[in-house]
Structure 1
């Protein structure tokens, strides 16, 4: 593995067993001349190609952290798993699960860059958004977001989990960055209430961060790819509802 460059790197998250999207993102990262990548978790849970995704990640070694679905894959009994975790679990070998077990929950990439999956204290909490009692996704205030990281003295704070690409500049100058989702542009969740997250694009998404004398320059890259094989795998795993989200970024 090459040394991680904390001044210019790609940020990926929420692959959810979509190996074709991951391959497209890796190719785009290479085309941009970017040599360092950090992975913010939720790698394998999904009704598609968990084993393929695991092998692709293991062959492209990079700093990575464990997301909530990764944790559930190694902490829950098979009979207690939700469907997309169970489909993934059945494809994985023990060395894949051991890799997930060894991943940290948070990671300092440098004195200036901190990474987590949800928030610094929770892998299941949305950092820059919240869900209303009616199930609407609402942007949190800058003060609320800053309170989640009151003790973390890093100029760049990385998170995933919501699948929504977003940057927020905090009152003290720190930047919170969510790269969006590589492989799952829409989903349904029941916590804290039923809600739908959808990006409106089928493109695989990731972020690029570069430190300059004026601060962090960031950009989101939406990479088109052919999702047809992933759609067929999802259907074969009895998840035909994934067709719309993979093909369009909307939840049908």
Structure 2
């Protein structure tokens, strides 16, 4: 069994197209999508149309939930920018996405943790500098009663794999379309990958269990940075150009 995992596209249709082409070049047709599909000052409508046509096994992220359930005047800047491009059928599609899913009978999909779409799982933050890997006990506790041998998560945009002793392989494939961001929860901090490339993962099941290969795919990120800057989001533009948030 072999398939690809994508996540955190955030309305970046050019990054998504590059990743889809790379996946196809590796002879893969099975793809799962871990949410946060549209939020951002980029091309939410184009991205939504592309994803709806693909009809991938998809779960919702926290931003997908907020887009579907929050009044526009209460949204943050990135959600409001995406919402302004979407039509009712796009929002209905987001509303129908499940929070979690079991794929192919043995792969558990979630956005943040199995119980929360807003909680960091494999990383922890304690200040403005960014994130470090979470403690093993914290990771295991958040697993709860999930029993699948492969667990996929997203949300932090940081590619990472953790294999728990006597437990599953937990993989975050990284972000297709947003390589860095600032957030205030749980404390003010930045997350940054240091590369503008689009990220995804390939999962393989072999005789010894599951393995993961991370892929970093170059694309026309300067074009998306230009769009973000034109729409008044220099923070997004800087991250899209460089993969860094700090100056």
Give the TM-score taking structure 1 as reference length.
0.95
Out of 202, 227, 240, the residue aligned to residue 234 of structure 2 is 240
Q: 1:3: which partner in 2?
A: none
Answering whether residue 112 of structure 2 is matched by residue 118 of structure 1, we say yes
Answering whether residue 160 of structure 2 is matched by residue 166 of structure 1, we say yes
SS in structure 2 of the partner of residue 62 of structure 1: coil
- In the alignment, the residues of structure 2 paired with residue 101 and residue 140 of structure 1 have an alpha-carbon distance, to the nearest angstrom, of 31
Report the more deviating stretch, 130-139 or 105-114: 130-139
- In the alignment, the residues of structure 1 paired with residue 60 and residue 66 of structure 2 have an alpha-carbon distance, to the nearest angstrom, of 10
1:61-72 equivalent positions in 2, closer than 5 A = 61-72=55-66
Out of 89, 94, 101, the residue aligned to residue 95 of structure 2 is 101
Q: Runs ≥4 in structure 1, deviation > 3 angstroms?
A: 133-136
Out of 5, 13, 16, the residue aligned to residue 10 of structure 2 is 16
**Is the 2:128–2:190 contact (alpha carbons within 8 Å) kept by the matching residues of 1?**
no
- In the alignment, the residues of structure 2 paired with residue 237 and residue 181 of structure 1 have an alpha-carbon distance, to the nearest angstrom, of 21
Consecutive unaligned residues in structure 1, runs of 5 or more: 1-6
Q: In the TM superposition, what is the alpha-carbon distance from 1:60 to its structure 2 partner?
A: 1.3
Alignment root-mean-square deviation, CA: 1.1
Report the more deviating stretch, 33-42 or 148-157: 148-157
Q: 2:148: which partner in 1?
A: 154
- In the alignment, the residues of structure 1 paired with residue 19 and residue 56 of structure 2 have an alpha-carbon distance, to the nearest angstrom, of 14
**Is the 1:129–1:138 contact (alpha carbons within 8 Å) kept by the matching residues of 2?**
yes
Answering whether residue 98 of structure 2 is matched by residue 131 of structure 1, we say no
**Is the 2:35–2:154 contact (alpha carbons within 8 Å) kept by the matching residues of 1?**
yes
Answering whether residue 224 of structure 2 is matched by residue 207 of structure 1, we say no
Give the TM-score taking structure 2 as reference length.
0.97
Deviations 1:12-57 (A, max 9, x none): 0000000000000000000000010000000000101000110111
- In the alignment, the residues of structure 2 paired with residue 47 and residue 214 of structure 1 have an alpha-carbon distance, to the nearest angstrom, of 43
SS in structure 2 of the partner of residue 122 of structure 1: coil
Answering whether residue 80 of structure 2 is matched by residue 86 of structure 1, we say yes
Consecutive unaligned residues in structure 2, runs of 5 or more: none
**Count of residue pairs brought into register by the alignment:** 246
Deviations 1:40-93 (A, max 9, x none): 000000101000110111121110000000011011110010000000000001
**Is the 2:114–2:144 contact (alpha carbons within 8 Å) kept by the matching residues of 1?**
no
Out of 234, 244, 249, the residue aligned to residue 243 of structure 2 is 249
Cα distance 1:144–1:19, how it changes in 2: closer, same or farther (>3 A)? same
